[in-house]
Amino acid sequence: MAEETTEKKNKKISKMTLDEIETAIKKATEAMNGSTALYVKHLNQRKQELLAKQS
């Protein structure tokens, strides 16, 4: 049960991996009805930072 609680715990955007960010973007856009929310914008910004570091 401890493993389940650690997975569901909210994580800071700066600590998320690329896969976690992509799933968070999908969930947030569905829940917030679009990509205009500030949280989604921050996720997209972090995603671009991670993609820039990879290449």
Provide block-wise average pLDDT over 10 residues at a time, the chain (55 residues): 60 93 94 91 96 90
Residue 55: predicted pLDDT: 78
Backbone torsion region of residue 33, taken as left when φ is above 0, otherwise alpha when ψ lies between -120 and 50, otherwise beta: left
Residue 11: strand, helix, or coil: coil
Residue 35: predicted pLDDT: 86
- The token pair at 41 is 């914008």
Provide the whole-model pTM.
Answer: 0.77
* Nearest Cα residue to 13 out of 25, 27, 4: 25
Q: Are 44 and 32 in contact (CB under 8 A)?
A: no
Residue 9: predicted pLDDT: 74
Backbone torsion region of residue 34, taken as left when φ is above 0, otherwise alpha when ψ lies between -120 and 50, otherwise beta: left
